[in-house]
């Protein structure tokens, strides 16, 4: 990538307004577009869905498949640099784009992050410098691999190597006797079997790294999942023990450096007890983009993860982000539209807006909805960031928000 910054609001070498592009038009693309536009960039989104959240608000929306040659050609014609908002963009499309425009993260990095087998191999290699290793696991690519799986991985979780997200593409495997049928149930595709670990908690770290190798880390996020989907993120001093937080930040920077990564990267960790009974970290997976657990940065830090993505892509400086308020983020899934106030709906119930006016009457509540045209159970509709003058105030407001929305008390 060129180190010459793409200055916002300037005319580009193409003689057009400086334009940043994104592969994918979901909510992450939308928030990238919002951050880019706030700084004065024009934007282009490639997503086949005419109602995609990012496409709806972008200067340009190219509505083709991700591997459509004409669509990719149009995107290159429109843009001065291109990023991605989801890891399942076909890697060859990024190779095509990267031959003509700065693309960050690179096709190579996205290719590693979209395949759990490669991802784990990278984590294992990087462990010498990151100090944090992946948990016990084995790759299963062919039927012959099933018999090679060591006994200590049971009970385990079988995960497809590709295309899994929010707990999809995963199945519990109690014992070796269940392995073959579990693998067939996932379509006999390439998988990873992981030992099921006793998690004390989960956390994640977001880093941003420029083409010049300069990298910064955001604070460590403590994450609570329900049914494999992120429900709540807490970020304040003490949410994650300080020594673990420091190790997780250093490990994430090392992983990014080892990949020669450019852009925003999120790495997820498990907190476990080691054999000596002390808390320890295990690296789980990474996302080559901003992450749901980093949304609190929009309201609690002086640099959001999306502005960091814009800056890394455009070759602008990346000062260390400062968190200026303790924060909790609550994910808003489509279930809430059918379950306002926690009252179980009829099967045929129509979607109803949750009680936003009551929620927004509480101080320090910041509502982000993604402009999705219809709610569905499990669909990520938005998130709510809660900030305040103290951890106690943020927790108190969050408890009231959760009660208003009929969500269980999720704070640790
Ligand atoms: P996804 O791509 O769906 O986020 P993850 O590998 O992060 O996939 O798994 C989703 C969640 O499932 C994790 O956040 C964690 O709560 C749980 N989980 C995944 N792997 C393990 C494991 N090896 N042991 C215990 N819990 C796990
Ligand atoms: Mg995950």
- Which pLDDT value is given to residue 344? 56
Walking along the chain (412 residues) 10 residues at a time, the average pLDDT comes out as: 84 94 98 98 98 98 97 98 92 95 96 96 95 97 95 97 85 95 95 97 98 97 93 97 97 97 98 95 97 98 98 98 98 88 62 94 98 92 98 98 92 74
- Which pLDDT value is given to residue 4? 85
CA 324–ligand 2 middle distance (angstroms): 27
- Which pLDDT value is given to residue 228? 86
Domain assignment present for 221: yes
103, 119, 153: which is the final residue of a domain? 103
- Which pLDDT value is given to residue 115? 95
- Which pLDDT value is given to residue 26? 97
Q: Are residues 152 and 219 in the same domain?
A: no
Nearest residue CA, atom 21 of ligand 1? Answer: 196
Query: Which pTM value belongs to this model?
Result: 0.95
Q: Report the CATH number at residue 53.
A: 3.40.50.20
Q: What one-character DSSP code corresponds to residue 198?
A: -
Residue 178 is encoded by which pair of tokens?
A: 């269940």
Range of the domain at 211: 199-405
- Residues near ligand 1 with C-beta < 6 Å? 135, 157, 164-167, 194, 196-197, 199, 202, 225, 228, 268, 284-285
Give yes or no for a contact between 278 and 298, defined as CB atoms under 8 angstroms apart.
no
Judge residue 123's burial from the number of C-beta atoms within 10 Å of its C-beta, 0-12 exposed, 13-18 middle, 19 or more buried. buried
- Which pLDDT value is given to residue 2? 60
CA 210–ligand 1 middle distance (angstroms): 29
Q: Give the C-alpha separation, 273 to 287, whole Å.
A: 25
Chain centroid offset of residue 325 CA:
22
- Which pLDDT value is given to residue 345? 55
Q: Are residues 204 and 167 in the same domain?
A: no
- Which pLDDT value is given to residue 186? 94
For 174, list phi and psi in degrees, rounded to 5. -70, -45
Domain assignment present for 182: yes
């Amino acid at each position: 990538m060129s180190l010459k910054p793409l200055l916002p609001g300037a005319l580009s070498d193409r003689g057009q307004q400086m334009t940043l592009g994104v592969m994918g038009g979901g909510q992450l693309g939308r928030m990238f577009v919002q951050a880019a536009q706030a700084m004065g960039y024009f934007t282009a989104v490639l997503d086949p869905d005419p109602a995609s959240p990012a496409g709806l608000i972008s200067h340009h929306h190219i509505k083709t498949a991700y591997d459509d040659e004409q669509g990719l050609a149009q995107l290159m014609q429109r843009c001065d640099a291109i990023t991605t908002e989801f890891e399942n963009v076909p890697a060859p499309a990024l190779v095509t784009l990267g031959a003509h425009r700065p693309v960050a993260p690179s096709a190579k990095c996205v290719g590693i992050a979209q395949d759990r087998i490669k991802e784990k191999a990278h984590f294992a290699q990087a462990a010498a410098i990151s100090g944090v290793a992946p948990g016990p696991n084995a790759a299963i690519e062919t039927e012959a691999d099933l018999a090679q799986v060591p006994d200590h991985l049971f009970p385990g979780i079988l995960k497809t190597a590709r295309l899994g997200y929010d707990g999809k593409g995963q199945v519990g495997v109690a014992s070796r006797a269940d392995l073959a049928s579990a693998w067939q149930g996932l379509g006999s595709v390439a998988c990873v079997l992981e030992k099921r670990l006793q998690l004390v908690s989960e956390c994640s770290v977001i880093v941003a790294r420029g083409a010049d190798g300069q990298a910064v880390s955001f604070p460590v996020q403590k994450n609570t999942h329900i049914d494999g989907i992120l429900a709540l993120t807490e970020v304040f001093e003490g949410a994650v023990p300080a020594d673990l937080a420091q190790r997780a930040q250093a490990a994430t920077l090392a992983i990014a450096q080892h990949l020669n990564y450019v852009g925003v990267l999120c790495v997820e960790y498990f907190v476990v007890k080691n054999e000596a009974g002390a808390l320890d970290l295990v690296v789980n997976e990474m996302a080559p983009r901003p992450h749901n657990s980093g949304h609190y940065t929009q309201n609690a830090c002086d640099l959001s993860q999306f502005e960091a993505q814009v800056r890394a892509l455009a070759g602008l400086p990346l000062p260390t982000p400062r968190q200026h308020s303790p924060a909790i983020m609550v994910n808003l899934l489509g279930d809430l539209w059918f379950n306002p106030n926690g009252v179980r709906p009829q099967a045929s119930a129509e979607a109803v807006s949750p009680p936003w006016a009551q929620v927004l009457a509480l101080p320090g509540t910041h509502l982000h909805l993604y402009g999705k045209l219809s709610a569905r159970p499990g669909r990520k509709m938005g998130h709510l960031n809660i900030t305040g003058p103290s951890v106690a105030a943020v927790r108190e407001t969050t408890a009231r928000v959760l009660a208003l929305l009929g969500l269980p008390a999720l704070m640790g």
